[in-house]
Amino acid sequence: MRLILMGPPGAGKGTQATRVADHFGIPAISTGDIFRANVSQGTPLGLEAKTYMDAGDYVPDEVTNKMVRNRIDEPDAEPGFLLDGYPRTPAQVEELDGMIRFTGHKLDAAVVLTVDADELVARLLQRAETEGRADDTEDVIRRRQEVYAEQTHPLIELYRSRGICVEVDGMGTVDEVTKRIFEALDIVDES
C-alpha cells in the first residue's frame, strides 16, 4: 500500500499513521518527525526548518521534497509507505507523482481525517501541555489551520478528482477512527 494521510494539524494523523502502517507492514513517514529530529540535533536543515515551524508556516518544498525522496528510497519503503504531512502543496503533489511513477507504482489512497476546528485547537493545546511542544501555542495553531485551508485543502479536491480520496470522520476515540479508516480502505481495495 502507498498511502497519504491528510488532515489539519491536530486531526490525529500521527496516531493513526502508526496504526495503519503497522497493519499493512509499511513505514509511516512523518515529515513533522523528520523536521523535529533535525531541529533537536541542530542540523543545518533543522535550523532552517525551525524558523518556518516556529512561525506556523510550511518548510520550503525543495527541503521537504529531498527529505521525502531520500526516505521513500530506503529499503523498508519498497513494499509501500504511508506519508503523514506530505504532500502539502500542488508542487509537492507533482514531485510525489514523479517519485512514485519512477518506481513503477501508484498511490493507492489519500485518506483525509476531518475534525471540527475548535476540537483541533483543544487537542493541540492539550498536546502542547503534555508533550512540552513549544511550537503549539494557540496563535501558531490557528495560523497552521489557516495555512492548511489555503494551501493543503485544495489537494483534497485533486485527489478526489483522481478517485483515490477517502474522507474519514476524525472525531471520537482513537479506536473508532482507526476502525473507520480500515473500513474506508477496504472499500477502496474492492473498487
pLDDT, position 172: 93
Segment 160-165 mean pLDDT: 96
166 assigned to some structural domain: yes
Please determine, for residue 81, whether its predicted confidence score (pLDDT) is greater than 70. yes
pLDDT, position 97: 95
Question: pLDDT band for position 175 (50/70/90)?
Answer: very high
pLDDT, position 1: 92
24 assigned to some structural domain: yes
191 assigned to some structural domain: no
Collapsing DSSP to helix, strand or coil, 81 comes out as strand
pLDDT, position 149: 85
28 assigned to some structural domain: yes
143: domain CATH number is 3.40.50.300
Segment 66-93 mean pLDDT: 89
124 assigned to some structural domain: yes
**Interatomic CA distance for residues 124 and 173, integer angstroms:** 16
The closest of 76, 52, 17 to 140, measured between CA atoms, is: 52
126 assigned to some structural domain: yes
**Interatomic CA distance for residues 151 and 149, integer angstroms:** 6
Tell me which residue has cell 472525531. Answer: 171
45 lies in which domain range?
A: 2-186
Question: pLDDT band for position 186 (50/70/90)?
Answer: confident
Residues annotated as part of the active site: 13, 88, 127, 133, 144
158 assigned to some structural domain: yes
172 assigned to some structural domain: yes
pLDDT one-digit tens code per residue, 9-34: 889 998 999 999 999 999 999 987 88
SS (H, E, C) 142-159: HHHHHHHHHHHHHHHHHH
**How many domains are there within the chain?**
1
pLDDT, position 189: 61
pLDDT, position 75: 93
